Amino acid sequence: MLEYILYAVGGFVALCIGLVMYSLVPNPMGYFRMRRVFNTKLQEYLKVPLWRPMDGSFHEMQTDLIGFFKRQLDYGNLFGVIPLWYVFDPNLILTKPEDMKQVLFGDDLQYYRDNTCFYVMHMVLGKGIINVGGMEWRNQHRILYKAFAPDNLMYFRPAFAARARKMVDTFKAHAQSGEPIDLLKTMNEITLGVMIDTAFGNTLSHEEQSEMRHHLMYVIKQTTNFVHQVPLLRYIFADHTQLKRRLGEMHSLVETSLIRRREGKSFGEVCEVKRHMIDLIIEANHSESEDGYRMSDEVMRDNMISLMAAGTETTATAMTWTLYFLDKYPEVYRKVREENMNIDLEHLAEPGDLTKIVPYLTQVIQESMRMCSPLGNIPGRRPFKDMQVGDLVVPAHVPMLTFAHQIHHNPQIWDAPEEFRPERFAKDGEASRDRLRFQPFGTGRRYCLGKYMAMAEMQVVLSHMVRDLRFEYAGTAEGITPAFRPPTIQPRDGMPMHIKLA
Ligand SMILES: *[C@@H]1O[C@H](CO)[C@@H](O)[C@H](O)[C@H]1NC(C)=O
């Protein structure tokens, strides 16, 4: 009898331990995948111990990102690995252009991409284009590609300019106080405002827009709160319920906007844009296609939120770095200012790309994005089957990714990569179109759809800023340390800047 009681108690305890383990380890399969990765030929390349038993190279990435990338190239310029198995799958990092070409430009149906490793991001992106793969991706891509064609973006220029003018006025008023500002934070406010203006415009009232802004800011902030990764802990150490509620409210705001647009309602002149993103997507949805795919309202909603989430921090970070380099290289600043002194990008009839109008500013933005890529890594591609890549057989389901920063600073790919030289991007933008060497917007078939929009936004906003203002770095003498804050690479301690009138 006693025996049976002991068995029962033992079984119960084991079950409890199992449950607790299961709710604390978000990625139970990770360990086995890691074993498979390390049982491949990869071992030979790992000449130096690359990982700590639990948090892998993640610690190194947080404390010394640049060193981490450099050391990886020493490991034979083949692969690096992030074996943080208990949270993420081990990621293989592609460092050679030919491998990237195979994996990122090759047949997309051989790979899938799931962003479940970043739980909050996955939740926010929903069924939108960043999350899906296969045929669903191809269909959504056709519609969104059409909606975000460069020629459609001229409708957004007045919204970019209006925000920029407002900001310049605020900065001018602030300049008198002599207090430094946190430029990154301010830039985030501008890009978020621009996103909401251009996405919904007058289909949402001022109050609704500001609600959307607050929710989005909260949600974006939570994407880097890693407590959400862990099933049980996310309810104890993070406010997961609040996160879900705010996301739900954002959903209903997008739905409201869609309904009002269909009924032709608006809320007066909230901003001057004539066609908003929402209109462009609705229009593109009605265009003909062979297979008759149409985007459902739910998918449209998730895409609107994905676009806002993807287009805010990245663009703000890129503009912040650009202004940092303009301060560091006064000669470059002088030339940019001269170019933009008498240019009115807002009322230009020219459709599409502004690069021909402000060539030097464009080169400076591109070179700044090369030095400090706004997008840290592209999400990994996972092959459905074991796959030969370079010298290595990559086990099925193991994600392969690239880090733009590493590629942009690889001396085998760029000449003197540590030097700031906007002229690299002259010559008809040849270097900027080489999508293996230059990846600030990701690369391969799935590079960022908002690329032209982000470029136009940066050109218009920065063109306004350099005319009237100069920023002076107000941080410590050691300067700035770039750190990986997924998905962007940001100055680790923010970007304190003094504002001066130019
Ligand atoms: C796309 O078109 C289909 C069919 O015309 C329609 O049912 C759907 O609501 C449209 N989606 C959006 C977001 O307008």
Residue 165 alpha carbon to ligand 1 centre in Å: 36
Q: Indicate whether residue 295 lines ligand 1 (CB < 6 A).
A: yes
Q: Residue 319: its pLDDT value, please?
A: 97
Q: What is the mean pLDDT of the chain?
A: 86
Most confident range (mean pLDDT) of 169-178, 286-295, 341-350 is 169-178
Which residue's CA is the nearest one to ligand 1's atom 13?
297
- What confidence category does residue 48 fall into, taking pLDDT thresholds of 50, 70 and 90? very low
Q: Indicate whether residue 323 lines ligand 1 (CB < 6 A).
A: no
Q: Indicate whether residue 139 lines ligand 1 (CB < 6 A).
A: no
- What confidence category does residue 43 fall into, taking pLDDT thresholds of 50, 70 and 90? low
Q: Residue 143: its pLDDT value, please?
A: 93
139 HSE (CA, 13 A, CB side): 19
- Please compute the mean of the pLDDT values over residues 220-245 and round it to a whole number: 87
| 3-state SS assignment for residue 55 | coil
Q: What is the largest distance, in Å, between two alpha-carbon atoms of the chain?
A: 94
- Contact between 78 and 45 under an 8 Å Cβ cutoff? The reply is yes
The residues with which 485 forms a beta bridge, in sequence order, are 488
Packing angle, helices 451-468 and 183-200, rounded to 10: 130
- Domains located in the chain, CATH noted: 1-32 (no CATH), 40-501 (1.10.630.10)
Which of these, 477, 478, 475, 466, lies nearest to 494 by C-alpha position?
A: 475
Which of these, 196, 470, 205, 165, lies nearest to 347 by C-alpha position?
A: 165
- C-alpha R_g of the chain: 24
Q: Residue 75: its pLDDT value, please?
A: 63
Query: In the numeric block, which tokens belong to residue 459?
Result: 């050109």
Does pLDDT of 312 surpass 50? yes
Q: Residue 498: its pLDDT value, please?
A: 95
What's the rounded Cα separation, in Å, for the pair 62 and 484? 6
Which residue's CA is the nearest one to ligand 1's atom 14?
282
Q: Which atom of ligand 1 is nearest to the CA of 282?
A: 14
List pLDDT tens digits, range 108-145.
Answer: 889 888 777 778 888 999 999 998 988 999 999 999 99
Query: In the numeric block, which tokens belong to residue 332?
Result: 């470059």
Residue 110 alpha carbon to ligand 1 centre in Å: 30
Q: Indicate whether residue 259 lines ligand 1 (CB < 6 A).
A: no
Question: What amino acid occupies position 89?
Answer: D
Residue 156 alpha carbon to ligand 1 centre in Å: 23
Most confident range (mean pLDDT) of 60-69, 71-80, 345-354, 391-400 is 391-400
What's the rounded Cα separation, in Å, for the pair 377 and 380? 8
- Please compute the mean of the pLDDT values over residues 228-239 and round it to a whole number: 86
- Contact between 384 and 400 under an 8 Å Cβ cutoff? The reply is no
- Please compute the mean of the pLDDT values over residues 371-375 and round it to a whole number: 91
Question: What amino acid occupies position 480?
Answer: I
What's the rounded Cα separation, in Å, for the pair 231 and 81? 25
Q: Which atom of ligand 1 is nearest to the CA of 285?
A: 1
Instruction: Give the helix/strand (H/E) hosting 160.
Output: helix 157-175
Does pLDDT of 51 surpass 70? no
- Contact between 68 and 409 under an 8 Å Cβ cutoff? The reply is no
Question: What amino acid occupies position 193?
Answer: G
Does pLDDT of 356 surpass 60? yes
Q: Residue 164: its pLDDT value, please?
A: 92
- Please compute the mean of the pLDDT values over residues 356-376 and round it to a whole number: 93
Residue 263 alpha carbon to ligand 1 centre in Å: 14
What's the rounded Cα separation, in Å, for the pair 318 and 321? 5
Residue 302 alpha carbon to ligand 1 centre in Å: 14
Q: Indicate whether residue 284 lines ligand 1 (CB < 6 A).
A: no
Task: Supply the DSSP symbol for 381.
Answer: B
For a pocket test of ligand 1, which of 144, 257, 297 has the largest count of ligand atoms closer than 8 A to its C-beta?
A: 297
Q: Indicate whether residue 282 lines ligand 1 (CB < 6 A).
A: yes
List pLDDT tens digits, range 78-107.
Answer: 555 665 677 777 778 888 888 889 998 888
- Please compute the mean of the pLDDT values over residues 31-60 and round it to a whole number: 66
Which residue's CA is the nearest one to ligand 1's atom 3?
294
What's the rounded Cα separation, in Å, for the pair 68 and 377? 14
What's the rounded Cα separation, in Å, for the pair 127 and 115? 11
- Please compute the mean of the pLDDT values over residues 53-61 and round it to a whole number: 65
CB atoms within 10 A of CB 178: 9
Q: Which atom of ligand 1 is nearest to the CA of 297?
A: 13
What's the rounded Cα separation, in Å, for the pair 341 and 51? 51
List pLDDT tens digits, range 421-431.
Answer: 999 999 766 77
Q: Residue 1: its pLDDT value, please?
A: 82
What's the rounded Cα separation, in Å, for the pair 458 and 83? 36
Q: Indicate whether residue 303 lines ligand 1 (CB < 6 A).
A: no
List pLDDT tens digits, range 184-207.
Answer: 999 998 999 999 988 888 888 889
What's the rounded Cα separation, in Å, for the pair 13 and 19? 10
415 HSE (CA, 13 A, CB side): 6
- Residue 443 CB contacts under 8 Å (≥ 6 apart), including other chains: 100, 104, 378, 402, 435, 436
The answer to whether 372 is annotated as binding is: no
Q: Residue 354: its pLDDT value, please?
A: 85
Which of these, 496, 150, 198, lies nearest to 354 by C-alpha position?
A: 150
- Contact between 82 and 88 under an 8 Å Cβ cutoff? The reply is yes
Q: Which atom of ligand 1 is nearest to the CA of 286?
A: 2
List pLDDT tens digits, range 241-291.
Answer: 999 999 999 999 999 999 988 887 666 555 555 678 888 898 889 877 777
Query: In the numeric block, which tokens belong to residue 42?
Result: 């990869």
Which residue's CA is the nearest one to ligand 1's atom 8?
296
Does pLDDT of 415 surpass 50? yes
Does pLDDT of 295 surpass 90? yes
Secondary structure, 3-state, 270-310: CCCCCCCHHHHHHHHHCCCCCCCCCCCHHHHHHHHHHHHHH
Alpha helices by DSSP H, 329-403: 330-340, 359-371
